[in-house]
């Protein structure tokens, strides 16, 4: 198991298992697998950032990564 810092923004925050902060995931877990494991509908994740840089859903997470997931944003 590895530990990552998970931040789910706006409407995604309800899917965080601890409310906020660190979570443990299996070594070799990709972002898309974590999204599925958390029960987040895939189409609700628009932006993925790992350690402050835009990332792809297929990217594998590493110990200590900071993962941020954002929903589509509307405005006017």
Please report, for the chain, the start and end positions of each structural domain, with discontinuous segments joined by +: 2-61
- pTM for the full model? 0.91
Determine the Cα–Cα distance for residues 71 and 15; give it in Å rounded to an integer: 12
Asked if residue 7 has pLDDT above 60, the reply is yes
Residue 75: what pLDDT?
56
Query: Please, where are the H alpha helices in 11-72?
Result: 31-37
> Can you give the pLDDT at residue 74?
63
Q: Give the start-end residues of each E strand in the chain.
A: 2-8, 21-25, 47-50, 53-54, 66-70
Q: What is the pLDDT of residues 15-72, one digit of tens each?
A: 998 877 899 999 999 999 999 999 999 789 999 999 999 999 999 999 999 999 999 8
């Amino acid at each position: 198991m590895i530990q990552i810092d998970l931040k789910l923004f706006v409407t995604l925050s309800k899917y965080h298992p601890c409310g906020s902060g660190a979570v443990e995931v299996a070594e070799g877990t990709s972002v898309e697998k974590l999204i599925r494991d958390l029960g987040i509908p895939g189409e609700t994740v628009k932006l993925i950032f790992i350690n402050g840089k835009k990332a792809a859903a297929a990217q594998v997470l590493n110990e200590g990564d900071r993962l941020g997931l954002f929903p589509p944003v509307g405005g006017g």
